[in-house]
Structure 1
Amino acid sequence: MKKSLFGLVALAAAGALPAVAQSLPATPKRPVTDTYFGKKVVDNYRWLEDTNNPEVQAWFKAQGDYTNQTLDQIPGRDRLIKTFEDYDKLLAVRYGEIKQRGNRYFYRKTLPNEKVGKLYVREGKTGAEKPLFDPMSLATDKQKSYAMTAFTPSPNGQLVVIGLQEGGAELSTLRTMTVATKAFRPESIPAVFGGTVDWLPDNSGFLYTPNNSTDPKDPKGNLNTKARLHRLGTPPKADPDLFSRAKNPDMGIRPDQYPLMAFSNDRTQVYGELSSVDRRINAWVTTPADLSKPKIAWKKLAAPTDSVYSYSKIGSKLFLHSVKGAPNGRILMTDAAAPSPATATVLLPESTQNITRLSATKDYLFVTLSDGINEHIRQYSPATKQWADVPLTTKGTTGIEFYDPSSSNEALVYVMSWNDPGTLYDYNPATQKLVTSAFHVPMNYPGVADLVVEELEVPSHDGTMVPLSLIYRKGLKKDGSAVCLMDGYGAYGNSATPYFSRRNLALLNQGVVWAETHPRGGSEKGDKWYRAGYQTTKPNTWKDFIACGDYLVKNSYTSPQHLIGMGTSAGGVLIGRAITERPDLFAAAISNVSCSNALRFENSPNGPVNAPEFGTVKDSVQCMGLYEMDAFNHVVPGTKYPAVLCVGGMNDPRVIVWQPGKFAAALQGASTSGKPVLMQVNYDNGHFTEDKKVAFRNFANMYAFALWQAGHPAFQPATTAVK
């Protein structure tokens, strides 16, 4: 049976690989039946959810080994890794997260020959740089990946908290370094997601929220968490709980909500916010002096019913980005000391442009607006009550970051697009002058001048026009022969704005058409677009994706024999349901760290936190919505499915590895197309990783598999060896 399965793979592939030494692992069915509000659902692979079971661990190991042996034989895979490396070397240095404290500038810097970034500091923006910290210096095992998830300098620039990660895990250990000596203080605080903190104004300590466990697979790891205060020189175990379900039983905090605390830019207020996937904030405000009191006198800032997405304080005013009664968003202004969204003044009314971001420096407010694809930035001065446009002329995705919003107005501004890596500018809002930044590094990549961009809208299943971005090389023959990789996400209101990618360029320069879809569930067309691909309306997300694929085939950009579909993370719902609803449309699919078993997602560590986005099995209507978006439960035996590569990370705290694992098992047992279904298991990776060596291999594996199965000539074996 195992031999014949691989024989079918060899016969069906555009070009067959030699048989691998190891066989595809068998996956026994052990049915478990659940009844959800009268609906019986049989789960044949529930046993794979017990990742602590040695049998399950052996299954993942065998699947991963078989997949690695198969992927290692694909011609073009190693050349693709080499191309990633070559393009990376064309960027002489990469700077990131530039933060100013006084005259000191802290930043992450990565050289082409380095796997991860190091921390540096300069005295003055153009001063001589000094290395502060190399994450790999802590490595006892040089084969493992070590990186900084985040770093946060103290207000006086004399200390810096660094979040350290191992093996791609996003749960970091916090260490505090003295800048002058580069020595770490003795405290070590584990299990902080992302490694983010906010310093006290007097530099004596910081606010942070740890998980309950260092194990990303612990089901109670991020439930009932507590926002704490660490004062330097005190034991972390004694850090007081300032904001939590236990500390504030009258606030109605749910176990899955993540309590965070942070200061306003001017350090005159402290905000307590319940972080979740619900974009509507649930937040309170207090004064810094209250942090030392036994009971903090919190004032309500905004409730979810106020539909406020973000807020920024300047002087005595609090500015709110609200979508209540305004799906494209509007900016409100209220008293910072006694905020009231209900009675706030409308500062910027809703328009045809969708507000995507709100941020502020010391004296200026910045609002980013989008036409659905391209963005621009407006600034507002509370002192003069004047609006103005930030003078960027290039179209694409805009970004604005701040050196030190607590004491400065200077900003870093950039624009990038599908075919332009962009320029980094220093921006002075008072003069409205843009100057190429000292941190800008010129980028010149091969083939960029030959790229064509098409921005289209295509009709979906219900007639809704869905944006579709196409990028390809000049001279494309629209005869259906081109390989096309179609990507999609459509969740959490995240929009697929234009971005420049060296990885994408490596495919584009081999004649691949890159199609970026903008399905409902994102915010390309405002809050209504998001809510139209959310919970029970989620089918629009994958149906929009399918409609884009049909358009590409109908108009001969590609054909079903050459179309690749890809979805990552929450995009696993999109790609999983697209191939289970329309398996005939795709030659291959990449299901990357994917939410593939939505009905069981609440049984994973990160599941309860995501219930506001996808729904809960505790509600009869939402439960049926979860079933509908569950790719695993829509795998039908005897169906000719496309070739599929499922990818999971053993250190992934967001989408536990059994989500893509069960989907792979179901497809392997059901598909009659003879095309391969593989499960790539990453033991040196979580949801993603900064480690370039690991990331390059990971993406080269995904792309090489899909390009092999979609018939790209550079990824076909020289000879056919059918076993």
Structure 2
Amino acid sequence: MSTTLVSCAPKSGRTPYKWPSVDAPTAAVMPHIRTLHGDTVIDNYFWLNDYFKKGPDSAAVIAYLEAENQYTAAMMKDTESLQTKLFDEMKSRIKEQDESVPYFKNGYYYYTRTEEGKQYFKYCRKKGSLEAPEEILLDVDAMAQGFSYYAVGGFNVSTDNRLLAYGVDTVSRRQYTIHVKNLETGETLADAIPGTSGGSVWANDNRTLFYTQNNPVTLLTERIMRHTLGADSRSDAVVYHEEDNTNYIGVGKAKSGKFIYIYSGGTLSSETRYLEADNPMGTFKVFQPRMKDVLYDVTALEDRFLILTNQNAKNFKLMECPFGQTGVAHWAEVIPHREDVLLEDVDEFKNFLVVSERKNGLIQLAVRNLSDGAAHYLDFGEEAYTAYPSTNPEYGTSTLRYAYTSLTTPFSTYEYDMNTHEKTLLKQQEVVGGYNVGDYVTERLYAQAEDGTEVPISLVYKKGFKKDGSAPLLLYGYGSYGATMDPSFSAARLSLLDRGFVYAIAHIRGGQEMGRQWYEDGKMMKKKNTFTDFIDCGRFLVRQGYTSPAHLYAQGGSAGGLLVGAVANMAPELWHGLVAQVPFVDVVNTMLDETIPLTTNEYDEWGNPNNEDAYRYMKSYSPYENIEAKDYPNILVTTGLHDSQVQYFEPAKWVAKLRSTKTDNNVLLMKTEMDYGHGGASGRFDYLKDVALVYAFLCALEGITE
């Protein structure tokens, strides 16, 4: 198939980008028949999962992905100088030699710092004072040498400050090996624990580690293990085995250091076990056996437990109980359920609670004095923003550390005295080269969905923008798992705004912006609300003159890529271009295959297609299943060969089927990162190459060459 396209020229008179005439790859057709619930489907590109399945056509899969990469490179060749300019521009805004705001824990100040030209960071501490000598605990720049991908996480220092446990992933499949370093001698111990989620918890004896072990095939979190320093990890004890493969599990520790928790939770219900951290060889006790359709989360204070739960409280309420009587019969109300306020989280301190609430789509932080029950809210003073408690590991402090950002305010770290109510700005992200907040405008709008629901939109643009429909607008959305897409600052995004783009976030159902019901109304058998909300937001922005279909673009990743694929089928005429990153677009086939990572965990989000009603509903919106012989917008798809969340073959199959079915002459490009996974590159600069590719694609469609 030969593609030669001249994109729509903007009203500004820009010269349209002329796509080269290059033959697009054609994937082989190998029919595979799926029959379920009396419904027979022929899948011509099922074979593209062979690399993942280690099947006979693995080499052919790699050859196809590489051919798509070569095609994308050829089609985008004339944008290479623009991509380089965008990358350099975005990189130049990053302060290369920088340092995080130190936090104090157990006698030490901890921080990370970066050096000029280096991709990674150094994890450091100082004893007692910021004037003390620096200890470099991990030099990740040195550790990462020779690896195309290198991620370190789960930093966990023992209570005696002598040992550091941390996880390393060199494949980008979120399978970490835990290592332990002696911080007094600098020696990395022989203990190496593979196949974990990366995090761990020290017992108070400073020699026992609890961690989460993953299934090597499905990557599901299946077991909580206990490791004794010096022992072979193959002999580690199983302290908890989760039998329900729809649940995620994890292990954590109370801020007070008194308890270790095991959490097991799905979309609809959860269960907690706990153990005194002084008794690592003891048996974990069940806090409250799991209850149907009830989520609960446990926080320990000095003399009692707090329980955040949705039991008879859709937007959650806060309860308490004595240490020795943790069953639901002993729970007493602390903060009642409210119809208009979602209770999201609780941060505990010895004398205070900080409660994260969401009202009208925005976070509020309420500080409660535990001695007298008095409460007050922090004032943020902007129309649309993001705020959240950041690193607060010290239990006895009266100082709250919180983060704040908006579409126009760079990430800022504040310290707040919970006694005096005074706040101090500790650090604001520096935009190298200068940034004037007054040059940009942010708005909060509401679009009416087809069923009358008011859907919030946050947007930002450069001052001087005119609502005459001629401006390009990039609409971003996610809308799944109850994940809230709060507005935040991006220095890289300035490269779009400065070229005349409007950037907007559609706070669609399936997220939790407007309360728990917002999530409930965008999942399972109501999933299509997510897609129609997004389409209605796009149409609203067109009607209001912010853009027009000739200049409207959509972007989403992972479950947001499902969103992009769905709206491509449902309203292709509304968009000039789409960007789908690591997109979850083959919903039915993935949810039928329990060997694929995350599948069983997701049944309460999407449904189990072995149930006929769920099968027919998800088939009715799954992007791959609903491709038709019609015109589609220009599309850029990105994925990673080692993606553990959305396997590479979903976007590959989607692109192959689109190529063979669509009737337009618009561009369809796919870029597969052969060394990376779901999150892309691990270095702090390399990921900008992917951003530059996306921005150059959008600019090409707008005829922007500089």
TM-score w.r.t. the length of structure 1 is: 0.90
Partner of residue 250, structure 1:
none
Runs ≥4 in structure 1, deviation > 6 angstroms?
A: none
687, 690, 705: which one pairs with 2:678? 687
1:172 matched to 2:176 = yes
Deviations 1:76-128 (A, max 9, x none): 22211111101113x752527x5543221223323453212221112235234
Partner of residue 540, structure 2:
551
Three-state SS of the structure 2 residue aligned to 1:668 is helix
- Residues 295-694 of structure 1 mapped to structure 2, 5 A cutoff: 296=283, 298-301=285-288, 303-305=290-292, 307-341=294-328, 343-351=330-338, 352-390=340-378, 392-393=380-381, 396-437=385-426, 442-443=430-431, 445-602=434-591, 603=593, 604-637=596-629, 639-688=630-679, 689-694=681-686
Partner of residue 12, structure 2:
none
Query: Is the 2:644–2:677 contact (alpha carbons within 8 Å) kept by the matching residues of 1?
Result: yes
Query: Is the 1:563–1:585 contact (alpha carbons within 8 Å) kept by the matching residues of 2?
Result: yes
TM-score w.r.t. the length of structure 2 is: 0.92
Query: Is the 2:462–2:500 contact (alpha carbons within 8 Å) kept by the matching residues of 1?
Result: yes
Partner of residue 201, structure 1:
204
Partner of residue 160, structure 1:
164
Residue 422 of structure 1: CA displacement? Answer: 4.3
**CA gap 1:255/1:546 in 2 versus in 1, 3 angstroms:** same
Query: Is the 2:390–2:403 contact (alpha carbons within 8 Å) kept by the matching residues of 1?
Result: no
Opposite residue 207 of structure 1, the aligned amino acid is: F
Query: Is the 1:265–1:406 contact (alpha carbons within 8 Å) kept by the matching residues of 2?
Result: yes
Deviations 1:9-45 (A, max 9, x none): 458894213445xx42211222222223223322221
Opposite residue 262 of structure 2, the aligned amino acid is: G
Query: Is the 1:564–1:589 contact (alpha carbons within 8 Å) kept by the matching residues of 2?
Result: yes
Three-state SS of the structure 2 residue aligned to 1:88 is coil
Deviations 1:622-671 (A, max 9, x none): 2223213310111112x110111111111211111111111111111122
**CA gap 1:240/1:652 in 2 versus in 1, 3 angstroms:** same
Query: Is the 1:685–1:694 contact (alpha carbons within 8 Å) kept by the matching residues of 2?
Result: no
Residue 279 of structure 1: CA displacement? Answer: 6.1
Deviations 1:399-436 (A, max 9, x none): 21344244544431122111111431223324433233
Query: Is the 1:145–1:167 contact (alpha carbons within 8 Å) kept by the matching residues of 2?
Result: yes
CA separation in 2, counterparts of 1:81 and 1:440?
23
CA separation in 1, counterparts of 2:549 and 2:129?
53
CA separation in 2, counterparts of 1:641 and 1:553?
19
Deviations 1:521-544 (A, max 9, x none): 001111110000011100000100
Deviations 1:492-551 (A, max 9, x none): 111111211112222112110001000100011111100000111000001000001101
Deviations 1:448-481 (A, max 9, x none): 3211111111111211111111111112121111
RCO greater where, 1 or 2, for CA within 8 Å and sep 6 or more? 1
Residue 489 of structure 1: CA displacement? Answer: 0.3
CA separation in 1, counterparts of 2:686 and 2:655?
22
CA separation in 2, counterparts of 1:672 and 1:560?
19
1:82 matched to 2:64 = no
- Residues 109-128 of structure 1 mapped to structure 2, 5 A cutoff: 109-111=113-115, 113-124=117-128, 126-128=130-132
1:15 matched to 2:33 = no
Query: Is the 1:359–1:367 contact (alpha carbons within 8 Å) kept by the matching residues of 2?
Result: yes
**CA gap 1:440/1:416 in 2 versus in 1, 3 angstroms:** closer
Deviations 1:366-398 (A, max 9, x none): 111222333221122333332233455556211
1:44 matched to 2:44 = yes
Per mean C-alpha deviation after superposition, the further-off stretch among 133-142 and 674-683 is 133-142
**CA gap 1:11/1:508 in 2 versus in 1, 3 angstroms:** closer
CA separation in 1, counterparts of 2:605 and 2:437?
37
Opposite residue 361 of structure 2, the aligned amino acid is: I
CA separation in 1, counterparts of 2:172 and 2:78?
26
264, 277, 283: which one pairs with 1:274? 264
RMSD across aligned positions (CA): 2.4
Three-state SS of the structure 2 residue aligned to 1:47 is helix
CA separation in 1, counterparts of 2:63 and 2:620?
31
CA separation in 1, counterparts of 2:422 and 2:555?
41
Query: Is the 1:374–1:397 contact (alpha carbons within 8 Å) kept by the matching residues of 2?
Result: yes
68, 71, 84: which one pairs with 1:66? 71
Residue 583 of structure 1: CA displacement? Answer: 0.6
CA separation in 2, counterparts of 1:270 and 1:301?
15
CA separation in 2, counterparts of 1:313 and 1:33?
54
Three-state SS of the structure 2 residue aligned to 1:714 is coil
Residue 699 of structure 1: CA displacement? Answer: 1.4
Query: Is the 2:271–2:296 contact (alpha carbons within 8 Å) kept by the matching residues of 1?
Result: no
1:184 matched to 2:188 = yes
Query: Is the 1:366–1:379 contact (alpha carbons within 8 Å) kept by the matching residues of 2?
Result: yes
Partner of residue 719, structure 1:
none
**CA gap 1:506/1:572 in 2 versus in 1, 3 angstroms:** same
Alignment coverage as a number of residue pairs: 686
141, 150, 155: which one pairs with 2:154? 150
CA separation in 2, counterparts of 1:564 and 1:356?
32
1:141 matched to 2:150 = no
- Residues 278-289 of structure 1 mapped to structure 2, 5 A cutoff: 278=267, 280-288=269-277
Partner of residue 131, structure 1:
136
Query: Is the 1:92–1:112 contact (alpha carbons within 8 Å) kept by the matching residues of 2?
Result: yes
CA separation in 1, counterparts of 2:611 and 2:576?
37
CA separation in 1, counterparts of 2:409 and 2:18?
37
Opposite residue 69 of structure 2, the aligned amino acid is: G
* Identical counterparts, % of pairs: 24
**CA gap 1:242/1:443 in 2 versus in 1, 3 angstroms:** same
Deviations 1:139-158 (A, max 9, x none): 4526x132313311112222
CA separation in 1, counterparts of 2:316 and 2:239?
32
CA separation in 2, counterparts of 1:145 and 1:233?
29
CA separation in 1, counterparts of 2:152 and 2:125?
15
Three-state SS of the structure 2 residue aligned to 1:175 is strand
Opposite residue 257 of structure 2, the aligned amino acid is: R
Query: Is the 1:101–1:155 contact (alpha carbons within 8 Å) kept by the matching residues of 2?
Result: no
1:258 matched to 2:256 = no
**CA gap 1:343/1:615 in 2 versus in 1, 3 angstroms:** same
Residue 698 of structure 1: CA displacement? Answer: 1.0
Partner of residue 33, structure 1:
33
CA separation in 1, counterparts of 2:429 and 2:472?
33
Query: Is the 1:101–1:154 contact (alpha carbons within 8 Å) kept by the matching residues of 2?
Result: no
Three-state SS of the structure 1 residue aligned to 2:90 is helix
Partner of residue 13, structure 2:
none
219, 222, 242: which one pairs with 1:221? 219
Residue 231 of structure 1: CA displacement? Answer: 1.3
Unpaired runs of 5+ residues, structure 1, are 246-252, 716-723
